[in-house]
Amino acid sequence: MAFLDWVLHPTELWAGFWYVMRHAPPDEKTNKLQVSGEMKRCYDFLEMTSRSFAAVIQELNPKLRDGICLFYLVLRGLDTIEDDMTIPGAKKRHLLESFHEIIYQKGWTFKESGPDEKDAILLVEFEVVIAEFLRLPTEYQEVIADITRRMGAGMAKYTRSRVVTMDDYDEYCHYVAGLVGHGLSRLFAVSGLEDKSVGENLELANSMGLFLQKTNITRDINEDVLDGRCFWPKAVWSKYAENEEEIISKRNRDNGLCALNEMCVNALSYIPHVMDYLSQIKEPSVFRFCAIPQVMAIATIVLCFNNANVLDDNVKIRKGEALKLISQATTMDNVKRVFYWYLVALEKKNHPGSHMYEEVRKITDKAKKDIASTLKGGAPVDFTFEYLLIGLFLVTAFFFFYSYSQSTQQQQL
């Protein structure tokens, strides 16, 4: 099946080839970064906990690279504690609420994670992260500690509260993702690589985080419900199901799809802010760092829309598709083209009479119009290069086998 995917999407095969050529194995990457000792171990942790983020972080400008690596690891440690269902509630809340102080405690480690926590090793050796964090410039430390404090408090709140209303949903996503957007934007500005306004217009930064988080929450419904939790707001799912388990039940499939489409529409509403935020980023490595997760998110949310497989499994975009998106997220014009084409794909999935049809149509019409009006050369032409390549391949294969057949027949004669 994977081989067929590559054959049917030759431009993805090409993107994969160039990705492999451009990206060295993890050990070679860290050697190339000229880091050693404890910071090298931090980059090892980065590779262990997120291969996708590791690649873009390691390509950042040196003024930001170590700081954002450590920012990610601090928040990953915090998130690992939040996700661990084996930690008693009171202890978990204390850890979450005090984590911004813990990162200043030399030698602190945590060895009580549950057996299923895949990132437990990070907390077991967390003194390494702390040591490197304390070597960062003070202004970097202050941003990271402030975001950790606010995020930890929000996570602690939602160990006791549930996501009921749409306001709850927005607030929870702000705590776990919007604040990441705040912190990154402030670090961009503190580094001097971006204008100070980037670190001040935090509404746009919040939307960047919410688009990613809401896409992930929408996609992960099956896994989350089976794990005994649900981050879809009750205000949405209660219209279509009696309880969370019924959302993914095959007996309730039509209603489950209605709930899914409503969640997709909520995530799609952030597209204008995403475009505005990316338009203000000037430094190339920072732009790629910001743009890559966003193009992945638009591809994922379009894949999820009206897709019953989301209710049965954790769906993901093809690996080749992801590598192609990485190769395209280099300029604002390229990103606009990517969003435009996925909006076209969304239109094709949005059938008249289906639930949320009008809402999706309004979002796609406006977003396409806005993108086309600012894109050099106007709207992209409706042409898929892959179809030409596939056709060329089939024609070539036909003539090859025809010639081979004729040659074989002549030899037999």
Structure tokens at 69: 């690596």
Q: At which of 115, 142, 169 does a domain end?
A: 142
User: Do 240 and 366 sit in the same domain of this protein?
Assistant: yes
Whether 361 is catalytic is: no
Sign of CA dihedral 278, 283, 288, 290: negative
pLDDT at 375: 85
Q: At which of 142, 166, 190 does a domain end?
A: 142
From residue 288, alpha-carbon distances to 45, 142, 363 in Å are 22, 25, 25
User: Do 116 and 246 sit in the same domain of this protein?
Assistant: no
User: Coil, strand or helix: which one is 289?
Assistant: helix
Whether residue 274 lies inside any domain: the answer is: yes
CA pair distance 194, 283, nearest whole angstrom: 7
User: Do 224 and 334 sit in the same domain of this protein?
Assistant: yes
Cβ atoms within 10 Å of 125's Cβ, excluding its own: 17
User: Do residues 173 and 217 touch, judged by C-beta distance below 8 A?
Assistant: yes
Among residues 72, 133, 169, 172, which one is catalytic? 172
Around 130, how many Cα atoms within 13 Å sit in the side-chain half-sphere?
A: 19
Whether residue 266 lies inside any domain: the answer is: yes
From residue 332, alpha-carbon distances to 203, 294, 335, 336 in Å are 20, 12, 5, 6
Looking up residue 231, the CATH number of its domain turns out to be 1.10.600.10
Q: What's the chain's Rg over C-alpha atoms?
A: 23
CA pair distance 351, 371, nearest whole angstrom: 23
Q: Which of 272, 219, 226 is nearest to 249 (CA)?
A: 226
- Give per-10-residue mean pLDDT for the chain (413 aa): 46 43 51 72 93 85 96 97 92 97 98 91 97 97 98 95 95 97 98 96 96 97 92 97 96 96 98 97 97 96 97 91 90 96 96 92 96 79 48 54 63 58
Around 186, how many Cα atoms within 13 Å sit in the side-chain half-sphere?
A: 19
Q: Which of 334, 330, 260, 333 is nearest to 301 (CA)?
A: 260
Question: In a 10 Å sphere around its CB, with 0-12 CB exposed, 13-18 middle and 19+ buried, how is residue 364 labelled?
Answer: buried
Residues 6+ apart with CB under 8 A from 352: none
User: Do 112 and 246 sit in the same domain of this protein?
Assistant: no
pLDDT at 18: 43
pLDDT at 411: 62
Whether residue 14 lies inside any domain: the answer is: no
Whether 240 is catalytic is: no
Q: Which of 133, 120, 137 is nearest to 72 (CA)?
A: 133
Around 227, how many Cα atoms within 13 Å sit in the side-chain half-sphere?
A: 15
CA pair distance 11, 33, nearest whole angstrom: 30
User: Do 118 and 233 sit in the same domain of this protein?
Assistant: no
pLDDT at 14: 39
Residue tagged 């909520």 (tokens) = 266
User: Do 351 and 214 sit in the same domain of this protein?
Assistant: yes
Cβ atoms within 10 Å of 54's Cβ, excluding its own: 21
Whether residue 4 lies inside any domain: the answer is: no
Around 3, how many Cα atoms within 13 Å sit in the side-chain half-sphere?
A: 0
User: Do 103 and 232 sit in the same domain of this protein?
Assistant: no
Structure tokens at 334: 């390229």
Which contiguous run of DSSP H or E holds residue 390?
helix 385-412
User: Do 133 and 215 sit in the same domain of this protein?
Assistant: no
User: Do 346 and 232 sit in the same domain of this protein?
Assistant: yes
Among residues 219, 231, 270, 342, which one is catalytic? 219
Among residues 133, 169, 277, 289, which one is catalytic? 289
pLDDT at 353: 84
Whether residue 386 lies inside any domain: the answer is: no
Among residues 135, 162, 229, 253, which one is catalytic? 229
Tally of domains within the chain: 2
Q: At which of 142, 157, 190 does a domain end?
A: 142
Whether residue 150 lies inside any domain: the answer is: no
User: Do 107 and 255 sit in the same domain of this protein?
Assistant: no
CA distance between the termini of the chain: 40
Question: In a 10 Å sphere around its CB, with 0-12 CB exposed, 13-18 middle and 19+ buried, how is residue 170 labelled?
Answer: middle
pLDDT at 395: 55
Structure tokens at 179: 């604040």
User: Do residues 135 and 114 touch, judged by C-beta distance below 8 A?
Assistant: no
User: Coil, strand or helix: which one is 227?
Assistant: coil
The residue range of the domain holding 107 is 23-142
DSSP label at 176? I
> Which stretches within 10-125 are classed as H helix?
10-22, 26-32, 37-49, 51-58, 62-83, 89-102, 120-124
Around 232, how many Cα atoms within 13 Å sit in the side-chain half-sphere?
A: 32
Whether 289 is catalytic is: yes
